[in-house]
Structure 1
Amino acid sequence: MTKHFSAPTAAALAAALSAAVFALPAQAADGVVGAIQTCSADFFKAVAADKNIPENMKIRDGERAYLKVEKLPLDIIQFEKPFKEGGLTVSGYVFNDEIIRYFGVPDMHTHFWGLIVKEDWKKVVDTLKLDWEAVDTTHNSAHANRQVRFNGTKEWKPYARDPKYTMPEFGQIERAFHVQPYAGSTMIFCSMQSAGAPEKDILEEVRPDLLYVGNELTVREEKTEGGDQNASQKAGDQKK
């Protein structure tokens, strides 16, 4: 049995994404808590192996398992029986997948996925042995090094976003690991955003569940006056 709770807005999660960055853990915990920190398909292998997650919540795909999502584009599910892993108490999971369409710029593909834990956000930061780049006590969040990759390339690389740009360049994919409070608990989650759709090999490496279930992502239209001009210009340059 699962319980659905009101979820944070996609805009709030997007704001967290714009401020956060990603790093692999120096010493990852076992199970889903350790795997979510990699922001890779390893998370879905851990879901398959984790006996604390009820089998009726899983969609099995070989050595991976994907969690069933009922409300699109965003779903937060609380587990009936929370469980301890990696020094944290896992009580649920969060997914958000959608395309945000602005006038004059490429569609923004936005993805958030991860876990809800019961501990305070600062205790989570202290428990996860990451090389935090910043711990923001004003907004109660923490982050490390963002990584970036372009369609057609094979490697993720450390990346410091130019503060003048609010969106990735056309064909650019950014991923990150976040810690952020939510409704008396804490979200530990990954994000991936891109200007234009990520190529299949990137989804296979990071979010293979999207390929398996063939999700049609929700498209959310945003009315703007021309959108982000920097992204629009970069998209035009890429297409020349």
Structure 2
Amino acid sequence: MTLDKALADALRATSTATITTVLLKKGVRRCWMQGPMPYFHADERIVGRAFTLRFVPAREDLATPESWSSPRSTRAAIEDMPEGCIAVVDAMGVTDAGIFGDILTARMKKRGVAALVTDGMVRDAAGVESTGLPVWCSGVAAPASVAGLTFVGWQEPIGCGGVAVFPDDVIVIDGDGAVVIPAALVEEVAKAGVEQERLELWIMREIEKGVPLPGLYPPNAETKARYEAEMGQG
């Protein structure tokens, strides 16, 4: 399902830090993924629907180079990825095997995938860099995925970096990492996020004027009234 352009634009204007605060106010605490950090071509905020992939621990009869030709393979999953999606990969935080290398990421880029997010590693670093695909990951490892992992499926619920991610949840990634917004909350979060950014910009201007923090951040009733009055005049 394609993400509405207005919602996508609103989320692109909202930092992941702000989104975590908005989600916290809605009772969602586990939304920031531990592990995925900006690594390749990660200098812009990116928003997209989650396309999930899942690995489990390596099992010797399944985690073989021959498995790469199986109908249930990372290759087949990539061919299912829709344009504009963000591939979110549960690699269990494994650090001694790279889940994707230059050839797979090149194909993802060609298919119009917006970015790759994983709590695992990638390999062929120079080649991945050359593809231009934005990647948030835990680092780089030379061994192939089958050295430590077995690929088992795609477009099913996963855990990535300690966070539950369902297909079609919305992912926002920037310099602070990767955040998942539950699909049912996307519209609410997008609207609240824009307003929170607007409020915090005003608070920053107040700080520059020398206003002390108590009552300003978080704003008390008097500060809120002053903010709303000034914004109304604007």
Larger helix proportion, structure 1 or 2? 2
Larger strand proportion, structure 1 or 2? 1
Which bin holds the TM-score, normalised by the shorter protein? under 0.3
TM-score (norm 1): 0.23
* Greater radius of gyration (CA): 2
Q: Which one has more relative contact order, counting CA pairs under 8 Å at least 6 apart? A: 2
